[in-house]
Amino acid sequence: MKLTRSSGLLMHITSLPGKYGIGTMGKEAYEFIDNLKSAGQSFWQILPIGPVSSIFGFSPYSSLSSFAGNYLFIDLESLQDEPWLSFNILSSIPEETENDFVDFNFVAPLKLSILKKASVDFFMNADTEYINDFHEFIDQQKYWIVDYALFMALSDYFKTFSWPEWDSEIRYRNPEAIKKYTELLRKEIHFHKFLQYVFFRQYGALKSYAKKQGIKIIGDIPIYITYDSADAWANPAIFQVDPETSLPSHIAGVPPDYFSPTGQRWGNPLYKWKENNALFPDTFEWWKKRFKYMFKLFDLTRVDHFRGFESYWSIPVTEETAINGKWERGPGLEFFTRMKLELGNLPIIAEDLGIITPEVEQLRDTIGAPGMKILQFAFDFDKNNTYLPHNLPSPNCIIYTGTHDNNTTNGWFYENDIDEPTRNYIADYMNLPHRDSFHWEFIRLALSSIAALSIFPTQDILGYGSPYRMNTPGQAHNNWAWKLTPGRLTNDILQELHHLCKLYNRI
């Protein structure tokens, strides 16, 4: 996809102002699309949409599957309108719209219990048209959904997502064990398939509406997967694992740097990229399925930690920190050249933040993927800083005030992230006569740049402070929970954004 001069907002689906404690794919999502259109926006960027778990802090970047959808996104009001539903699913969940944060530990189990009841109704009451549609969906998605539904059912059965702890017969996917547990857990498997059927019906309708309104959706996929996931259990051969224990032998992270003397030990399994100096076929095929799938779901796909395709930091699993890791070569240009031959255009965004080498930049530019420029990273008193608007080398990039991992713009500027000399430097660079409404001045700076696309976290156009940031890297709790309350995204705010986008030729 060739980017034209345009703008968009970053807002995860759970952050929409949901009526029952969490954002969903219901009417609030449709209203948000309408708001995007009225503000002159062309893109809606969301975070990964895979199923999450309390074990991983409900992080969308620690999903149980690279293909499945998050049942928390399912809109209960839309579900209530289905003709096969025989009970009032809304009566058992309290309305809650004014809280600025999602209480995942309350919402998740309650919603799951409601959806289990709905699943029983579906298989008992749905007419032939619905049942045929369900089976057609399952048949189309069988390359992932069969393993995923069984994995989820087994996780409930063994009371852990950590599949290396399961009985050995099913841990190693013995065909007889697969047959045995598929029959034993038949009802549970049907339930998880039902969740995916409902999820993708609702997502498909939402995406169709967005397209009609001229709004493109930007998705997000982490390069690495969670080992306690359906992906790893169903495809252990594509990872660097110890065949005796089924556990990773080497894991992902980043080396020590100015910010962390011991580096970061992420713990994700590393891919087996090559064998005998050639791309490992199983790994390439898995990624081909993943890209093909994501390109159907999204108009553009942000690939998190893009640099890992060029080279990655490999840490022996026995190491407690990232210090004793080493750089290994990734699949590189050969991977993307073959992928492009087999899939055609690759509509991806390269998340190229952090310490990026010339080799990573060359890979990004060779495949034509736009990179990311973060304004909050620009002001370190280095006039050659690559994030400064006057240093952007090409329009083929996306400029952000900040991302889901950053503080809000006002939180960053007014609070403790930067010191007074830095504030003065920023004010001088931006020629600010005062420091009022800084978020709008920062948004204006991004919009005025040559970057083809500008994206703003919704908290930034609202002028919110640090309590409303989405995620604090390195902090295990109290992330991902921000939720917009009704009425905050006013017409005045939307019209101000529209005015600025028109002024800087982004409409």
390 and 352 in a single domain? The answer is no
395 and 468 in a single domain? The answer is yes
Span 389-410, pLDDT tens digits: 999 999 999 999 999 999 999 9
Does the pLDDT of residue 296 top 80, yes or no? yes
Span 409-463, pLDDT tens digits: 999 999 989 999 999 999 999 999 999 999 999 999 999 999 999 999 999 999 9
- Catalytic, out of 121, 304, 319, 328: 304
481 and 497 in a single domain? The answer is yes
pLDDT of residue 92: 84
337 and 389 in a single domain? The answer is no
At residue 221's C-alpha, the angle toward residues 245 and 395, to 5°, is 140
Q: Per-residue pLDDT averaged across 56-77, rounded?
A: 97
Our answer to whether residue 81 is catalytic in this structure is no
Q: Which two tokens stand for residue 427?
A: 């004010």
Span 170-223, pLDDT tens digits: 999 999 999 999 999 999 999 999 999 999 999 999 999 999 999 999 999 999
Domain that holds residue 253: 235-369
Does the pLDDT of residue 141 top 80, yes or no? yes
Please check whether residue 321 lies inside any domain of the structure.
yes
Characterise 247 by phi-psi region: left (phi > 0), alpha (psi -120 to 50), beta (else).
beta
Residue 354's pLDDT band, with cuts at 50, 70 and 90, is confident
pLDDT of residue 246: 83
pLDDT of residue 1: 66
Q: Per-residue pLDDT averaged across 226-245, rounded?
A: 94
Residue 338 belongs to what H/E stretch? helix 332-343
348 and 479 in a single domain? The answer is no
322 and 391 in a single domain? The answer is no
pLDDT of residue 107: 96
Q: How many domains does the chain have?
A: 2
258 and 315 in a single domain? The answer is yes
Please check whether residue 283 lies inside any domain of the structure.
yes
295 and 389 in a single domain? The answer is no
Please check whether residue 337 lies inside any domain of the structure.
yes
Contacts of 168 (CB under 8 A, 6+ apart): none
280 and 321 in a single domain? The answer is yes
392 and 488 in a single domain? The answer is yes
Our answer to whether residue 304 is catalytic in this structure is yes
Q: pLDDT over 70 for what percent of the chain?
A: 100
Instruction: Note whether 372 and 378 are within 8 A (CB).
Output: no
Please check whether residue 506 lies inside any domain of the structure.
yes
Please check whether residue 255 lies inside any domain of the structure.
yes
Residue 498's pLDDT band, with cuts at 50, 70 and 90, is very high
355 and 477 in a single domain? The answer is no
Instruction: Note whether 29 and 13 are within 8 A (CB).
Output: yes
Please check whether residue 114 lies inside any domain of the structure.
no
- Catalytic, out of 351, 352, 441, 460: 351
- Catalytic, out of 169, 282, 361, 405: 405
Q: What are phi and psi of 350, to 5 degrees?
A: -90, 115
Does the pLDDT of residue 258 top 80, yes or no? no
385 and 328 in a single domain? The answer is no
pLDDT of residue 2: 80
Q: What is the DSSP secondary-structure string of 187-231?
A: HHHHHHHHHHHHHHHHHHHHHHHHHHTT-EEEEEEESS--SSSHH
Residue 260's pLDDT band, with cuts at 50, 70 and 90, is confident
Our answer to whether residue 139 is catalytic in this structure is no
Please check whether residue 245 lies inside any domain of the structure.
yes
Please check whether residue 11 lies inside any domain of the structure.
no
